Amino acid sequence: MAEHVPVLLERVLDLFAPALADRPAVVVDATVGLGGHADALLSAHPRLRLIALDRDPNALERSRERLARHGERVEFAHAVYDRLPEVLAERGLSHVDGVLFDLGVSSMQLDRAERGFAYARDAPLDMRMDPTTGPTAADVLNTYPPGELVRILRDYGEERFAQRIVKAVVAEREREPFTRSERLVKLLYDAVPAASRRTGGHPAKRTFQALRIEVNGELEVLRRAVPAALKALSVGGRIVVESYQSLEDRIVKQAFAELARSRTPPGLPVELPGHGPELKLLTRGAEKADETETEHNPRAASVRLRAAERIREGT
């Protein structure tokens, strides 16, 4: 397996530092993965307690090994990140000082061919982030009505050729159900016009993204998880979110913007008590990795980082 390199690590540490420095604090790493960001946060803040969530039991096992040296300062939960309120309640917590989301598929999931996330290698069409539960990508391809497949490819993959692809999928699945990625990749290569293949990246990229999002309910989960995380932040607490595609980033942007605006009616000369912004945005738009980092860590090329600080209790 390739070395795990946390994306925008120094920037993440800098953003959290004012909320964690020189005092006991609690941070939730909602997508701990292989524990790179968590390890750095725990090392930088000796009085920090970290709650590590992941829906992937294999990732939790690996992060337990990596973070073992921090002892009881780390607690682990096998949970999808929209269950954050339940995880906190189980620990008697109502508020925390920081929440980190590093979204999308992890390097470990991509590197393990049997998980089916990577279109570059033949593998079972699985794509479940938690391989112990739920339908697989093969189930989606083989059982969804054509119209639903078109919607998924358009909405989640932003695939212009969704109709053509689904027509080919339906014809092929009637002949024989899909089980492995190589057959799907060949179908996509044939279905996407040559001109688009030359300029639009790998013809499987958008369809594989769409299937993964559908299998894992990623956008629905994120729509629930970000407001829940914001609600859990103490005043002075900070949230940092790393997204890797525009659909995720749009959800984060909208959730932040909703709490960063004043609710005082326009035209009033003063801010009404309790109507001011609850959040202060810490980034101007979405920040990206620089060329040096993307050369060293190709996964950083598509990152969009947003961060905010709670400045007032929620209503």
Q: Is 276 one of the annotated binding-site residues?
A: no
H or E stretch at 39: helix 36-44
Residue 88 has which token pair? Answer: 């906190």
3-state secondary structure of 107: helix
H or E stretch at 59: helix 57-67
Q: In what order do the strands lie in the sheet with 48-54?
A: 74-78, 48-54, 25-29, 96-102, 233-243, 304-310, 279-281
Question: What CA–CA distances, in Å, run from 210 to 162, 166, 169, 198, 248?
Answer: 11, 13, 14, 21, 12
Residue 253 has which token pair? Answer: 């942007």
Q: Is 104 one of the annotated binding-site residues?
A: no
Q: Please name the residues in contact with 208: beta carbons below 8 A apart, sequence gap of 6 or more.
A: 117, 119, 127, 157, 181
- CA 231, 235, 240, 245 dihedral sign is positive
Q: Is 244 one of the annotated binding-site residues?
A: no
DSSP string for 138-192: HHHHHHS-HHHHHHHHHHHH--TTHHHHHHHHHHHHHHS---BHHHHHHHHHHHS
On the CB side of 304, CA atoms within 13 Å amount to: 15
Q: Is 102 one of the annotated binding-site residues?
A: yes
Separation of alpha carbons 266 and 264, rounded Å: 6
Q: Is 37 one of the annotated binding-site residues?
A: yes
Binding site: which residues? 35-37, 54, 81, 102, 109
Binding site for S-adenosyl-L-methionine: which residues? 35-37, 54, 81, 102, 109
